[in-house]
Amino acid sequence: MQYREVMIVFLRGAIRIDPGKFANAATKWAAPNWATANRGMESIMRATLIFWIIIFAFGVLVGERYGLPGWTTSLTNRGFEAAEGLLGRAGEPIPAAEDNGAEPEAAEASPAPQTLPPASSSQGGADANADLRINDAGLQIIKDSEGLRLEAYNLGGQWLIGYGHSRTARSGMKITEAQAEALLREDVKDAEDGVRRKVTVPVNRNQFSAMVSLAYNLGVGGFGRSTVLSALNEGDYNGAADAFLNHNKAGGKVNEHLTHRREKERDLFLAPA
């Protein structure tokens, strides 16, 4: 044990330990105000330290830990603990003394936490929009624009059915109006997810639904490049509304049908929710 080695060196005269220094260190540790420490405590600490040094030396030299009965071993162990505590604390900084018994200054209050802006979700987009879904007004714009076809038809080499549904459409396929409604609500989920992901400012249900109609028409990628989205994410809601009218071209030319659809979407975007 390290204290045994230290004590053997001590007893051989290789080092000299001044009990007064140990007592002073112990007193400094015990008294927070060194300038007004009780002198009687210093004497008690000095005597206590000398006592434990004697027990310490006795245990090292002849102990049955070192060879002594149990009660002596117990005293020796306590001596080790006392010496370790005093030596360890002697190197700790001494608390600053208080001047003339004055009350210590109160700790400076921590600044109040700052209010942070609403966080965005880990998948992108504003958290305030997480529960939004397209409303009936938005769905009606899509229905009016796409038109209802209960039998599959080919447009530009692609089979479509219902309100422009393509994923499961095939030649000769027929559906009911209720099935067309269900397919539309299923198809529109991709557009809803895309709008929620890309819009980084809070919007109301009408604004959301107008943008879902636009994304359903342009595709989520096209919506991501739209002037509607860029203006909105900069906080320019009126500019975003007017930007719907920019997306009314087909083949580089203004399309009357698209112009009419964009006007409906803009009106819904501006309608109070």
Task: Report, as residue numbers or ranges, the catalytic residues.
Answer: 146
Instruction: Return d(Cα 214, Cα 195) in angstroms, integer.
Output: 10
Q: Quick one: tokens of 175?
A: 């559906």
Instruction: Return d(Cα 150, Cα 75) in angstroms, integer.
Output: 98
**Burial call 163-196: b when 16+ CB within 10 Å, e when fewer:** bbbeeebeeebebeeeebbebbeebbeebbebbb
Residue of 90, 77, 91 lying closest to 1 (CA atoms): 77
**Token match 């030299």: residue?**
61
Instruction: Return d(Cα 234, Cα 28) in angstroms, integer.
Output: 64
Residue of 185, 136, 141, 131 lying closest to 162 (CA atoms): 185
Residue type, 177: E
Q: How far is CA 247 from CA 178, 220, 265, in A?
A: 31, 14, 11
How many CB atoms lie under 10 A from the CB of residue 122? 7
* 132 close to 197: Cβ distance less than 8 angstroms: no
Instruction: Return d(Cα 158, Cα 73) in angstroms, integer.
Output: 95
